[in-house]
């Protein structure tokens, strides 16, 4: 096996899947992502990895401490590295441009692996139930067609495609399963595929988050799925969050904050806590009186029976959402005493998760940093906005949409053994 396997990340988001593969020893050639804020996050993370590898990590530390600007950070690494993040929607009109950019970055290298999954809204059960046409006219249903074009062009040995479990039941207007359509297309491109439904909390992630992982290998070989090793640490949500400063709604800071002493193992074993860098983005969104009233009801329900709030159980004056038939658990309680939290979602900035500390009930949603920890992103991972000024909303969206880093790492490690 060659020293470092190369990969391309499509629909990369903020890089949760990519980060897991980098940890396992793979080298990214390019990331393709349409969201501009997520692209800045990917560029900043690429700068971090390069600076660390070249003994210049103090520059990244200066950036987190706001001693230098984002532009200065990017100027400290090769321009080709920053350009390896391609901010583009993947469609028929953009393919030739994206191919050209990747070709230039690859040079004489061969691409070993393609990873990534299209946006999940078109396949998710919630997305279908919220849309009057059940997402049938949504162009995102067919993004796998473009994914296959990358396989045909670069002929990687493997690919790893991830998506929500709703993919297994999503159908075209003609009644065909999209999942079977894409597997057939990948087969035509020369790949045998196998899949599993994996739950993140089986692999060291303190979160009930299920994903379809479809793995393809060029040729007709079977038994190709890299069965990741389970890890179920004896740790609860409270331990993952309790060394962060205790704050109220609207409190905290998007900039560096000090951590409390931590005597456990999980935060280090998972790669989350890094004492060499400041912790950022630990700021809670402010709440209205209506928010707090909803949270009081949600917490009472949790404390009495351990049940989470159904949106339709709220008094009528508290129901501000028009959608009353789906996504009824939009207000989720995250208890410190749980071994796994509910799925961290991308819309915390609008609805949110309420965090219950065993000693101090904090009247607030999770901060971006708390959400990132539940997604097993390391504390030194910075989530950018389009402007250089950091913001909660962009961070929440990127974190909630991401693949948990530890889940990705476990898959990547097992896949590497098959090379």
- Say how many domains are in the chain: 2
Question: Same domain, yes or no, for 226 and 271?
Answer: no
Question: Same domain, yes or no, for 193 and 329?
Answer: no
Model confidence pLDDT, tens digit, residues 241-250: 999 999 888 8
* CATH number of the domain within which 286 lies: 3.90.120
Question: Same domain, yes or no, for 107 and 184?
Answer: yes
Question: Mean of the pLDDT values across residues 191-207?
Answer: 97
Percent of all residues in the chain with a pLDDT value above 70, rounded to a whole number = 90
Question: Same domain, yes or no, for 85 and 169?
Answer: yes
Q: Please report whether residue 397 resides in a domain.
A: no
Question: Same domain, yes or no, for 107 and 127?
Answer: yes
* CATH number of the domain within which 90 lies: 3.40.50.150
Per-residue pLDDT for 172 more than 60?
yes
Question: Same domain, yes or no, for 218 and 265?
Answer: no
Model confidence pLDDT, tens digit, residues 327-368: 666 677 788 888 888 788 787 877 667 676 666 556 688 999
Q: Please report whether residue 395 resides in a domain.
A: no
Question: Same domain, yes or no, for 158 and 11?
Answer: yes
Question: Same domain, yes or no, for 82 and 214?
Answer: yes
- Structural domain including 251 reads 237-390
Q: Please report whether residue 311 resides in a domain.
A: yes
Q: Helix 143-154 and helix 178-188: axis angle, to 10°?
A: 20
Model confidence pLDDT, tens digit, residues 299-325: 888 888 878 788 888 899 988 877 777
Question: Mean of the pLDDT values across residues 134-140?
Answer: 49
Separation CA 410–CA 154 (nearest Å): 25
Would you place residue 135 in the very low, low, confident or very high pLDDT band (cuts 50, 70, 90)?
very low
Question: Mean of the pLDDT values across residues 200-209?
Answer: 95
Region of residue 406 (left: phi > 0; alpha: psi -120 to 50; beta: else): alpha
The pLDDT mean for the chain works out to 90
Q: Please report whether residue 48 resides in a domain.
A: yes
Separation CA 8–CA 11 (nearest Å): 10
Q: Active-site residues: which are they?
A: 120
Question: Mean of the pLDDT values across residues 231-240?
Answer: 94
Q: Please report whether residue 307 resides in a domain.
A: yes
Q: What is the pLDDT of residue 360?
A: 58
Per-residue pLDDT for 148 more than 50?
yes
DSSP letters, 218-284, are: EBS-------PPPB--S--HHHHHTTSPP--TT-EESS-BPPPP---SHHHHTT---TTS-B--EEP
Question: Same domain, yes or no, for 152 and 278?
Answer: no
Question: Same domain, yes or no, for 166 and 264?
Answer: no
Question: Same domain, yes or no, for 224 and 241?
Answer: no
The structure's pTM equals 0.92
Q: Please report whether residue 1 resides in a domain.
A: no
Would you place residue 130 in the very low, low, confident or very high pLDDT band (cuts 50, 70, 90)?
very low
Question: Same domain, yes or no, for 245 and 372?
Answer: yes
Q: Name which of 154, 215, 163, 192 is nearest 7 in CA terms.
A: 154
């Amino acid at each position: 096996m060659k020293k470092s396997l190369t990969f391309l990340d499509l629909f990369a988001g903020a890089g949760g899947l990519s980060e897991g593969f980098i940890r396992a020893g793979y080298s990214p050639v390019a990331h393709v992502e349409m969201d501009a804020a997520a692209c800045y996050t990917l560029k900043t993370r690429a700068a971090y990895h390069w600076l660390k590898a070249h003994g210049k990590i103090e520059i990244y530390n200066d950036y987190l401490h706001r001693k230098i600007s984002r532009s200065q950070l990017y100027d400290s690494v090769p321009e080709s590295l920053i350009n390896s993040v391609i901010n583009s929607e993947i469609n028929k009109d953009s393919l030739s441009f994206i191919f050209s950019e990747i070709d230039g970055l690859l040079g004489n290298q061969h691409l070993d692996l393609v990873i990534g999954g299209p946006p999940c809204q078109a396949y998710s059960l919630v997305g279908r139930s919220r849309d009057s046409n059940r997402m049938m006219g949504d162009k995102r249903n067919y993004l796998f067609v473009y994914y296959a074009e990358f396989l045909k062009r670069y002929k990687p040995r493997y690919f790893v495609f991830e998506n929500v479990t709703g993919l297994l039941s999503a159908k075209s207007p003609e009644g065909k399963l999209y999942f079977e359509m894409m597997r057939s297309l990948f087969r035509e491109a020369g790949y045998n595929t196998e899949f599993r439904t994996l739950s993140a909390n089986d692999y060291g992630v303190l979160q009930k988050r299920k994903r379809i992982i479809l793995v393809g290998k060029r040729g007709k070989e079977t038994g190709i799925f890299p069965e990741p090793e389970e890890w179920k640490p004896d740790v609860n949500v409270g331990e993952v969050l309790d060394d962060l400063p205790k704050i109220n709604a609207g409190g905290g800071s998007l900039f560096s904050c000090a951590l409390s002493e931590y005597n456990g193992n999980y935060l280090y074993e998972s790669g989350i806590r890094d004492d060499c860098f400041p912790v950022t983005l630990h700021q809670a969104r402010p709440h209205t009186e209506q928010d707090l009233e909803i949270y009081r009801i949600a917490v009472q329900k949790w404390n009495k029976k351990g049940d989470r709030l159904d949106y339709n159980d709220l008094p009528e004056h508290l129901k501000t959402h028009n959608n009353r038939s789906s996504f009824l658990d939009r207000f989720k309680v995250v208890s410190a005493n749980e071994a796994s939290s509910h799925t961290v979602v991308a819309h915390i900035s609008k609805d949110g998760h309420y965090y219950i500390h065993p000693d101090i009930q904090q009247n607030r949603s999770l901060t971006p940093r708390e959400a990132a920890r539940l997604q097993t992103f390391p504390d030194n991972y910075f989530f950018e906005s389009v402007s250089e000024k950091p913001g909660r909303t962009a961070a929440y969206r990127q974190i909630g949409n991401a693949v948990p880093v530890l889940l990705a790492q476990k898959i990547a490690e097992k896949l590497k053994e098959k090379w």
